[in-house]
Amino acid sequence: MEIYLPIAEMSVHWLVILGMGFAVGYLSGLFGVGGGFLLTPLLLFYGIPPSVAVATTASQVTAVTFSGVLAHWRRRSVDVMMGLVMLVGGLFGTALGVYVFAVLRRMGQSEFAVSASYVILLGSVGGLMLNESVRSLRAARLGQSASGKKPGQHNWIHKLPFKLRFRQSRLYISAIPPLALGFVVGILSAIMGVGGGFIMVPVMIYVLRMPTNVVIGTSLFQVLFVTAAATVLHAVDNHNVDIVLGLFLILGGVIGVQYGVKTGAKLRGEQLRLLMALLVLVVAGQLLIGMVARPDDLYSVTVGKL
């Protein structure tokens, strides 16, 4: 059955939308990322107008992350303190990012900026994760302890002031790195239209050295608030949130995320990171091909005023 989307002004097959929501929700539950970086390209591929795709994705990510946060909350794998500190940085970052995006849009280069930042960020994050997870998987097979995370290890982060105790993560570190991380992710999420979990998760693991199980719940916690705010902002500023599209994406998403969380609990940290690294690299590669391959039509049309 086809349904009509009142904001996108087109009709879509509800099962396709439900399926996309489910698939992305599953991966979200598995990896602890919002999934916006997967859903937005999927919707574009299906022919949803870009601005509606970006804005409506935010509402789906809100639902999926809320569901995920609840699941992690019950397993006590959310570091609320860490999440709140990052959120403060995130809100400032989002404000700056919205401004930067408006400037890029006026220059007519927002599309290129989005693709380029996706490729650079996903490519480097994916490469780092792939390298690390392969190494720790190999180390585990040889019977050595993984070199990836040693909770007691000291690095430059421990020399910074304003230390806070993050109980859930069993960390006593400065508030500056999580604030800065939230800020940077806020900027990126405003520009790229995603929650930013796929950047946050690796930084929390490798730089902040939080335990992997707490990382996922905590990043979902932060993404929840960022995307909820983004949904409302998009609705107010651009009138481009399609609630009918959102409903089907959300329905698929919240069911998918439950299965994802269950599968995720069975897999080991290194395996999870290896899978996510591969996924991230595939998306980056896809986007890179899109940038260097000659388009079918060199011209593109945008209806309406800029």
* 108 forms part of the interface with other proteins (CB under 8 A): yes
Q: Which stretch binds other proteins (CB under 8 A): 168-176, 180-188, 263-271, 294-302?
A: 294-302
CA distance 83 to 215: 10
CA-based nearest residue to 119, from 31, 58, 189, 37: 37
Q: How far is the CB of 165 from other proteins (least distance, A)?
A: 29
Q: How far is the CB of 13 from other proteins (least distance, A)?
A: 9
Q: How far is the CB of 60 from other proteins (least distance, A)?
A: 7
* 78 forms part of the interface with other proteins (CB under 8 A): no
* 63 forms part of the interface with other proteins (CB under 8 A): yes
Interacting residue with other proteins among 122, 254, 272, 287 (CB under 8 A): 254
* 96 forms part of the interface with other proteins (CB under 8 A): no
Residue closer to other proteins (CB basis): 2 or 165: 2
Interacting residue with other proteins among 80, 130, 137, 233 (CB under 8 A): 233
Interacting residue with other proteins among 66, 101, 118, 183 (CB under 8 A): 66
Q: Hey, how many other C-beta atoms are within 10 angstroms of the C-beta on 157? A: 15
Residue closer to other proteins (CB basis): 164 or 255: 255
* 70 forms part of the interface with other proteins (CB under 8 A): yes
User: Which tokens sit at 95?
Assistant: 């404000």
- List Cβ neighbours of 204 (8 Å cut-off, separation of 6 or more): 181, 210, 215, 218, 219
Are 133 and 227 spatial neighbours (Cβ–Cβ below 8 Å)?
Answer: no
CA distance 260 to 27: 6
* 297 forms part of the interface with other proteins (CB under 8 A): yes
The binding track of 20-59 with respect to other proteins, each residue x by CB under 8 A or -, is ---------------------------------------x
Q: Which stretch binds other proteins (CB under 8 A): 65-73, 87-95, 205-213, 268-276?
A: 65-73
> CB burial class (10 A; 0-12, 13-18, 19+) of residue 211?
middle
Query: Could you tell me which residues are beta bridge partners of residue 5?
Result: 10
* 212 forms part of the interface with other proteins (CB under 8 A): no
Query: How many chain residues are in contact with other proteins, going by CB under 8 A?
Result: 60
* 305 forms part of the interface with other proteins (CB under 8 A): yes
What long-range pairs does 2-7 form, CB within 8 A, spacing at least 24? 3/244, 3/248, 4/244, 5/48, 5/52, 5/242, 5/244, 5/245, 6/242, 6/243, 6/244, 7/52, 7/239, 7/240, 7/241, 7/242, 7/243, 7/244, 7/245
- List Cβ neighbours of 12 (8 Å cut-off, separation of 6 or more): 2, 3, 5, 46, 48, 245
* 142 forms part of the interface with other proteins (CB under 8 A): no
Are 10 and 243 spatial neighbours (Cβ–Cβ below 8 Å)?
Answer: no
Chain positions contacting other proteins, by CB under 8 A: 1-4, 6-7, 9-11, 59-60, 62-67, 70-71, 74, 108-109, 111-112, 116, 228, 231-236, 239, 241, 243-244, 246-247, 250-251, 254-255, 257-258, 262, 291-295, 297-306
